[in-house]
Amino acid sequence: MVKIGVLVGSLSKRAFSLKLAQYITYKEKNLEMLQLDYSSLPLYDPDIDLTNAPVEWVAFRRAVSKVSGLLIVMPEYNLSIPGGLKNALDVISVPKPDLPAQGKPVLVITDSSGSRGGMLANAHLHQVLQNLGAKVLPSYVTVGNVNSILKENRITDDFVDQAIEDQFNQFKSVIFKNIRDQNSKILVTENYLYAKTHLGLLENNKEVGWADLTLLENGSFQIDHVVVKPEDRGKGVAQRVMLLLLSIMESSGLKVVPKCPFARDFIKQHFEYEELAIR
């Protein structure tokens, strides 16, 4: 399952940002939402980092590097980013060039008891994240008057609720596209034979697995069968065939109809490819 790191900008257990993050996490069933705890991180000191980086920094950097995207929900402190969160961002601003947040999609949501919803802090955080090499969603998602619309751990304002849902869906689309692009880069090393209604995966110039396709009237391709030779089963060949097929379809701007059970199950388990499927 795709993992998303959640950073809550307030350390308070009663923070509206925490409740808002929990509400978003509760609604999302297809992603593994992991709250990343930065409360115990020592203050960032580049001198220490050069000689003996604390284990907390190393562990936090590793945790950020392992997720596919970041959701940051935070209040506005003195028109800017809360200090604890800013320290966490400083920790992942090194080591260069392998920054932990490099290329990761990030959705920023700010909240406040005022009407502007932490707009200035939101803009400031965008600047910091861009400097870390993150793919920050350009929209400014702000929740104003949060104390009056967040009741019993749910958003009572339908307009705000829908706006957050729309932005989160866009966030997921960017993450899934990012994963597909990464898979495509890996797949360039695969040898294959593609003849419109047949895709064969080759090893030593011999087919070890293949997908049989049907071209439909709407221009999409129906996946009829995914087959692996008996002697090559249990080696992940069928998964490689599906990844290769979906990569080719996406690069050609085509959709697929997963007819065979394996193709249906594969796409069901790999949500990042659902956008390519017609049900």
Residue ranges of domains in the chain: 3-179, 190-276
Residue with tokens 């320290």: 87
Same fold, 3-179 and 190-276: no
Q: What is the pLDDT of residues 171-227, one digit of tens each?
A: 999 999 999 888 887 777 789 999 889 999 999 989 999 999 999 999 999 999 999
The arithmetic mean of pLDDT across residues 94-117, rounded, is 91
- In terms of Cα–Cα distance, which of 64, 91, 78, 76 is closest to 7? 64
pTM over cut 0.95: no
- In terms of Cα–Cα distance, which of 28, 31, 20 is closest to 109? 20
> What confidence score (pLDDT) does residue 84 get?
98
The CATH code that applies to domain 190-276 is: 3.40.630.30
> What confidence score (pLDDT) does residue 215 get?
94
Strand (E) positions, the chain? Answer: 3-8, 32-35, 69-75, 105-111, 135-136, 141-143, 150-151, 154-155, 191-194, 198-203, 206-215, 221-228, 256-258
Q: What is the pLDDT of residues 34-52, one digit of tens each?
A: 999 999 999 999 999 888 9
Q: What is the pLDDT of residues 141-168, one digit of tens each?
A: 999 999 999 988 789 999 999 999 999 9
Q: Which residues contact 239 (CB under 8 A, 6 or more apart)?
A: 266
> What confidence score (pLDDT) does residue 151 get?
86
Q: What is the pLDDT of residues 53-65, one digit of tens each?
A: 999 999 999 999 9
**Architecture field, domain 3-179:** 3-Layer(aba) Sandwich (3.40)
Q: Could you give the CA distance from residue 241 to residue 202 in angstroms, rounded to a whole number?
A: 10
Of 79-83, 148-152, 228-232, 253-257, the range with the lowest mean pLDDT is: 148-152
Percentage of residues in the chain with pLDDT exceeding 90?
A: 82
> What confidence score (pLDDT) does residue 7 get?
98
The arithmetic mean of pLDDT across residues 270-276, rounded, is 91
> What confidence score (pLDDT) does residue 24 get?
93
The arithmetic mean of pLDDT across residues 98-116, rounded, is 94
pLDDT for residue 238 is more than 90? yes
Q: What is the pLDDT of residues 84-101, one digit of tens each?
A: 999 999 999 987 778 999
pLDDT for residue 251 is more than 90? no
